[in-house]
């Protein structure tokens, strides 16, 4: 009986040693990279959009759209697209920058559509649809990728600049059975100055 107990104790100690080694292999490090700038810019709604109730929010009215008026991503059916214009007004630190790039972070918004990852997932009762974004060339963007909308900064005075970012949004069928209702969504964006 003592022999069995000793053997179990040795096996248990070996198991703890292996578990301890496995946990030690989970070490890692975070590497942070970034750049600080002194550019000061405000983003406001232009044509086709309105300022939201919270700071930084831009509301886009997609309207009342019939399923018969929209198509799949590959169909590029854009008749019901809502134009969006954002106005960038930089009041300082803009002298060294020539371009503003708008990038979208769908995964931190309402998410990517479950059936078509190029689209933004909608919230609400409607089914069978996602929201697609149109770039400045009126082409649907793949929201799962790294596409940006790049716009030149027009110099204003000594250290200011302005830009007018024009793009659009459109409902796109995702392949699921359609069901009418509210089809909202939200999409965070970041402005990068270069």
Q: How confident is the model at residue 14 (pLDDT cuts 50, 70, 90)?
A: very low
Q: What is the pLDDT of residue 9?
A: 36
Q: How confident is the model at residue 28 (pLDDT cuts 50, 70, 90)?
A: confident
- pTM beyond 0.75, yes or no: yes
Average pLDDT, the chain: 86
CATH topology of domain 37-193: Immunoglobulin-like (2.60.40)
Nearest to 170 by CA among 122, 106, 98, 125: 122
Q: Please name the residues in contact with 175: beta carbons below 8 A apart, sequence gap of 6 or more.
A: 72, 115, 116, 128
Q: What is the pLDDT of residue 1?
A: 40
- Mean pLDDT lowest for which of 10-19, 141-150, 155-164? 10-19
Higher per-residue pLDDT: 14 or 52: 52
């Amino acid at each position: 009986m003592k022999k069995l107990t000793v053997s179990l104790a040795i096996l248990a100690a070996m198991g703890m040693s292996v578990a301890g080694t496995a946990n030690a292999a989970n070490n890692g490090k975070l590497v942070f990279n970034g750049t600080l700038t002194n550019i000061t810019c405000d983003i406001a709604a232009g044509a086709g959009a309105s300022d939201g109730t919270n700071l930084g929010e831009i509301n886009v009215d997609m309207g009342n759209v019939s399923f018969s008026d929209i198509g799949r991503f590959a169909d590029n059916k854009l008749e019901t697209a809502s134009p969006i214009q954002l106005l960038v007004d930089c009041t300082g630190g803009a002298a060294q920058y020539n371009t503003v790039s708008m990038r979208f972070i769908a995964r931190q918004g309402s998410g990517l559509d479950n059936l078509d990852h190029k689209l933004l997932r909608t919230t609400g009762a409607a089914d069978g649809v996602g929201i697609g974004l149109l770039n400045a060339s009126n082409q649907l963007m793949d929201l799962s990728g790294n596409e940006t909308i790049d716009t030149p900064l027009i110099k204003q005075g000594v250290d200011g600049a302005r830009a007018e970012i024009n793009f659009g949004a459109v409902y796109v069928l995702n392949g699921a059975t359609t069901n009418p209702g509210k089809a909202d969504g939200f999409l965070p964006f970041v402005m990068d100055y270069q």
